[in-house]
Chains A and B, each alone.
Chain A
Amino acid sequence: MARNRYDVDEVLEDSFDLGQLKRLASYIKPYGAKMAAIIILMLTSSALTMVVPIFIRNVMDDSIPQKDMKAICIYGFLTLLIALYAAFALRMKIKTMSVIGQSIIHDIRTDIFSHLQELPFSYYDDRPHGKIQVRVVNYVNSISDLLSNGIVNTFTDLCNLIFILMFMFYLDVKLTLVCICGLPVLAVVIFVIKKKHRRAWQIQSNKQSNLNAYIAESINGIRVTQAFVRERENTGIFNQLSNKYRKSWMTAVKYNFAMGPSVDIISMVTTSLIYILGVRWILAPNAELTVGVLIAFTSYIGRFWAPINTLAGFYNSLLTAISYLERIFETIDEEVEVKDAPGASVMPTVTGDVEFDDVTFGYEPGHTILDHISFQVKAGDTYAIVGPTGAGKTTVVNLISRFYDVNSGVIRIDGIDISKVTLKSLRSQMGIMMQDSFIFSGTIMDNIRYGNMSATDEEVVNAAKTVCAHDFIMEMEHGYQTEVNERGSRLSAGQRQLISFARALLADPKILILDEATSSIDTETELVLQQGLARLLKGRTSFIIAHRLSTIKSSDCIMYVDHGNIEEKGNHEELMATKGEYYKLYMSQYEFLNVG
């Protein structure tokens, strides 16, 4: 699949609605008993409140004419009791349902977030990050109302409907049948617009996602935007997205608004039918229907359609929620490409022998990056990987950490096939420093400690000292407690590299991977750093990718990678002697001296 952009809707096949609802039901299930209790409470409460009009009628018809003040007071007192019960039921409902609703949201959110942790790089690379975020945060929130109010109200309404229906059947079967013949009509109306209705909300959720993605990117890329004076264009794009969002919202919401009037009109048509047929049946020669029954019946029609009206409202919020739910479940169902093999064992403490045995790999089918590569690294050795940009250097180290699975061949660490051990036990024994040094918002101390959560402050400081980060950290106003954020605050790129370097070291890895780890660090710092590192690298296998050859000259072995193959291999002296690609690369460093 091609990568997704902020202005491209994410595709989604039309799946069967009930599937999403069943999924949701499985989240609701644990709270079923509690919800049932609340529904019963609400039903008793609504049954009791129906008694109040009867009290009023009794007072007017009987007590007042009889001047029975005592009876009136009793009715008043009973009403008060009912009021207190209704208030109590309402309180219990709010109390319980907000807990249940929020618990379900909490559960869904945990599931989607936990699953996201397992998804491979490619999932994150293929779409703007704002679109992932909107699913975990905003979409999940959007179903909260459905959960905390919708479900209980629906059940209460359904029960009310059944009560009234039973009562109507008891009054007159034929008239009841006429009355419910409005339901199929309503069903047809709903069914006819359903596809468009649902599509409208799907589009809306897409537009929301696009807008969110653009906002996220605008904030993260603000420096470039200001440097390139793109404010006006970006505002234009933003407003376009914002407008599409508004339009999609208006379209979708109109379907919702159409629902109420549709129910009203259908109910009025059936009511009219009942009047017409009722009058005819009364006047029929051998009439079974009496005037009294007809009048009583007409007063119930309204009560029959009122819950249907609220159910239609529930249907609206359900359709809205489904367009969010399907996105949420889609993410939870996203297949984990790199995962623990069934019965994967725990990687024993690593010594550090690494072997690539005939490894072939490509990110996309038909596009091979590494072509039948084999090499062995002895524990404790330092291996440098050089070659032109895009030759596959980073790919090699990505495979060691099993960020991707090889297409063919085997990678072994200490003779163990890495696809046979758990990811956690494998990766936790590696320290990886990537080209991009990501800083979390928090203190510098927290950021370094990320490598090893149980490290003491002293250990963190020592790691920082080893990578020459201590001095600049201490120069900051709050030292290690200085707050930094994702965009790095005032840290320079080199400083961020040093911090993530310290982070990698603190993990005390047996295998250390440095991918352009020192590209933005000055020579002097690098020298001191290397002295410290030489000590640290002892007993660890390390892979170094660097363009600055001074960084790698002293490695035990240097591999020159190009065109998916290892073109040359050997230590600096050996490679210089063969006068091949590495030699050329090395000499090119000095070319400028001639030019000058």
Chain B
Amino acid sequence: MSAMKWFLSFLKKYRGHMILGLILTIAISVLSTVNPYISGLIVDQVIRKGEVSKLMPLIGCLLGTTIIIGIIRFFYQVVFETASQGVLYDMRDKVYRKLLEEDFSFYNKKRTGDLMSRQTGDMDAIRHFVAYVIYSICQNALMLVFALFMIFTVNVKLALCMLVVLPFTAMCTIKQSKEVHPAFQRNRNCFSSLNTLVQENVSGNRVVKAFAKEEYEISKFEKENDKFYDAQVSASRIWMQYVPIFEVLSYVLTIILICYGGYMVIQGEITLGQLVTVNGYLWMLNVPLRMAGWLVNDTINFVTSVDKIYHTYKEEPEVKQPVSGVVKKQLQGEIEFKNVSYRADDEDIVTDIDFKVEPGQTVGIIGSTGAGKSTIMNLLCRFYDTTEGDVLVDGINVKDMDLYRLRDNIGIAMQDVFLFSDTIEGNIAYGRPESTFEDVKKAAIMADANHFIMGLPEKYDTIVGERGVGLSGGQKQRISLARALLKNPSILILDDTTSAVDMETESYIQEQLKHLPKNSTKFVIAYRISSIKDADMILVMDHGRIIERGTHEELVAAHGYYANAFHHQYGEIPEEIKRGGK
């Protein structure tokens, strides 16, 4: 499907609006001829001939027509605007849904500012086109055809002579379209870049300030701002060449009328009266010619934007909902990785991952930074699809499962905590918007978040900024944990969730996790041995592979990576502990 076809599929729904709008446009054009006619009557019959009695009825007609025209004019503009807002609404919806469907690989490559430009600036070009350009084109085309037809009825030779300008007009239109297209493309790209730059500057404002890089940011911005300026100005340099040509062409018609028309009258081929009639229709040819350049601009701008939006829209996610996925409301939580490997951009992220977990078990994952721990969890949630091997949940390949049901059964507290600019209650209830306040509070208590939340000025109604600014790292982690717990999931994933909380809080949380209402299968990714020590199975990862596995005791005894980490972290165990312990 081409971008244009895609656009038309949206416009189709508003066919009725468009047709009604066009009919009203024509009605207006016809009605506009009424008032000059009545004015003529007033001048001729009332003023010249003194038939005063006719004055009031004529004025009544004059006012009546004006009011009718006013109402129709208001109405048809509303009709077109409604259609355009409707198209936009539908298109925004479609694009938004698609954005929600796109997988992590898509977002790894796209800049936020670019994606936003599609939903804002580009949409605006479409609004303008549907609300204004379409009917302008029709109106002007109608005018042109009507006037030409009328002139033809007067005199074919004169009409043909006037037709001479049409090939020139067509040629200019085509040339302008071709030249202005890349200019508009550049415009859109510059707009995107500017958007991205501002967006990142705003999001990264803390880093900018911390490094006192304000001046650098401004100079970076200036560069984009200049580029945007250049793009706009150089685009105007193109239509600057064409718009005046159309202006001249419109005058050429007048010149033809004066010279050739005058010649024909002198030669007796037409009468003076006929020439006057043609002159009356001339403005109907002039206006469309003058508008041509601008309409070409608007149209190409629109085409460029539709292309841009469609280009983003048509990108298909690799991770897709299976056609008839297995719908399992409640998962047991049995998980098996069968020789799973995942590659991205020619880079092995994880290789030969093979393990099995029984429902209700706890798996600890530890390993160096970037070893692929989070990736394993992303494969389980099917944020990425495995390159080789299978991930089975309850014995079913995740690729064959209903994607949303799968994810709905998993509660994940991500390493990179993202909170929405919403109340704390809204953030905790993110996965279960329908849950009661009691449930939210219960989850917060389990995550040891209730205490600090109650200490905030507006408690659970406190709005946290985007990314949870204003909260400390540990507080954010606990909110994100509460969010995962509230789902009461069959599979619970804690990805480095307690790294920024103190030991006491962590042991409290661990105690809570043992008494979850559901016997969830748990994955705990951590760097602190204390976080995973009690796990039924500990996987030690390095460079995308599992290098050790076993329980805490087994691994300590094995004197490998895990034992090393253990000794580094707790090397010199204080005497009191040793005495008091074991």
Decide: B501 and A389 in contact? CB cutoff 8 A.
yes
The smallest beta-carbon distance between B455 and chain A, in angstroms, is: 7
B196 touches A219 (CB 8 A): no
Complex interface: chain B residues within 8 A of A436 (CB)? 206, 467, 473
Whether B313 is near chain A, meaning CB under 8 Å from some CB there, is: no
Contact A522-B457, Cβ < 8 Å, known A72-B258, A229-B404: no
Contact of A56 among B257, B412, B533 (CB under 8 A): B257
Stretch from A107-115, A191-199, A372-380, A405-413 contacting the other chain: A107-115
A155 within 8 A of B: no
B169 contacts partner chain A, Cβ-Cβ < 8 Å: no
How many Å from the CB of B434 to the closest CB on chain A? Answer: 9
A525 and B414 contact, Cβ closer than 8 Å, known pairs A128-B466, A264-B70, A585-B503: no
Chain A interface extent, by class: 35 or more
A441 contacts B by Cβ under 8 Å: yes
Q: Are B263 and A389 in contact (CB under 8 A)?
A: no
A64 touches B262 (CB 8 A): yes
Instruction: Verify A5–B111 contact, CB threshold 8 A.
Output: no
* Contact A489 B109, beta carbon cutoff 8 Å: yes
Contact (Cβ within 8 A) A428 B212: yes
Contact of B121 among A65, A95, A141, A441 (CB under 8 A): A141
Pick from A80, A128, A226: contact of B421, CB below 8 A: A128
Is A286's CB within 8 Å of the partner chain B?
A: no
Residues of A within 8 A of B50 (CB): 283
Residues of chain B with a CB closer than 8 A to A118's CB: 214
Contact between B108 and A117, CB atoms less than 8 A apart: no
Chain A 81-108 interface residues, beta-carbon cutoff 8 Å to B: 82-84, 86-88, 90-91, 94-95, 98-99, 102-103, 105-106
User: B465: CB under 8 A from chain A?
Assistant: yes
Does B433 sit at the interface, judged by CB under 8 A? yes
A443 at the interface (CB under 8 A from B): no
Contacts of A594 in B (CB 8 A): 577, 580-582
Query: Complex: how many Å from CA A249 to CA B258?
Result: 47
Q: How far is the CB of B452 from chain A (nearest CB, A)?
A: 5
B465 close to A3 (CB less than 8 A): yes
Our pick among B251, B420, B431 for the contact of A79 (Cβ within 8 Å) is: B251
Interface membership of A494, Cβ < 8 A? yes
Q: B102 to chain A: which residues have CB within 8 Å?
A: 222
Contact B47 A72 (CB under 8 A): no
Which residues of chain A from 232 to 253 have any CB-CB distance to chain B below 8 Å in the complex?
Answer: 233-235, 238-239, 242-243, 246, 249-250, 253
Shortest CB distance A167–B (Å) = 19
**A317 at interface by CB-CB < 8 Å:** no
How far does the Cβ of B288 sit from chain A's closest Cβ, in whole Å?
Answer: 16
| CB–CB A64/B272 < 8 A | yes
**Which of chain B's residues have a CB closer than 8 A to the CB of A507?**
211
Interface residues on B, range: 35 or more
Interface segment among B8-16, B154-162, B516-524, B568-576: the answer is B568-576
Chain-B contact segment, one of A22-30, A169-177, A255-263, A533-541: A255-263
Residue of A nearest to B235 (CB): A98
| Beta-carbon nearest neighbor of B115 in chain A | A219
Does the CB pair A492–B66 fall under 8 Å? no
Q: A63-B262, A98-B232, A246-B85 are in contact. Are A254 and B240 (CB under 8 A)?
A: no
CB neighbours of A72 from chain B (8 A) = 258-259, 262-263
Are A216 and B116 also in contact (CB < 8 A) when A222-B99, A275-B59 are? yes
How far does the alpha carbon of A144 sit from the alpha carbon of B375 in the complex, in Å? 47
Among B62, B455, B466, B580, contact of A220 (Cβ-Cβ < 8 Å):
B466
Report yes or no: B99 in contact with A219, Cβ–Cβ below 8 A: yes
B contact residues around A423 at 8 Å (CB)? 212
The reply to whether A523 and B507 form a contact with Cβ atoms under 8 Å apart is no
Q: Which of A12-20, A36-44, A513-521 has 4 or more CB atoms under 8 Å from chain B?
A: A513-521
Residues of A within 8 A of B215 (CB): 424
How far does the alpha carbon of A228 sit from the alpha carbon of B272 in the complex, in Å?
Answer: 80
From A117, A129, A282, give the contact of B214 (CB < 8 A).
A117
Report Cα–Cα, A253/B503, bound state, in Å: 59
Cβ of A596 within 8 Å of any chain B Cβ, yes or no, is: yes
Task: Give the Cβ gap from A218 to chain B, nearest Cβ, in Å.
Answer: 7
Q: A137-B198, A223-B414, A272-B63 are in contact. Are A279 and B81 (CB under 8 A)?
A: no
Q: Are B205 and A590 in contact (CB under 8 A)?
A: no
Contacting pair A438 B104 (CB below 8 A): no
Of the listed stretches A156-164, A182-190, A456-464, A470-478, name the one at the interface; the rest are far from the partner chain: A470-478
Q: Which 6 A-B pairs have the closest CB atoms?
A: A261-B70, A494-B369, A83-B251, A389-B474, A98-B236, A87-B244
Known pairs A95-B236, A547-B500; list 13 more (Cβ under 8 Å).
A3-B463, A86-B247, A102-B229, A124-B202, A141-B121, A144-B232, A276-B55, A388-B502, A388-B505, A390-B471, A428-B212, A520-B527, A587-B577
Q: 23 A-B contacts, Cβ less than 8 Å apart?
A: A3-B464, A60-B279, A64-B275, A80-B251, A95-B236, A102-B232, A134-B120, A137-B191, A238-B96, A246-B86, A257-B73, A264-B70, A295-B48, A428-B212, A434-B207, A485-B108, A519-B500, A527-B568, A547-B474, A585-B502, A587-B576, A588-B507, A590-B577
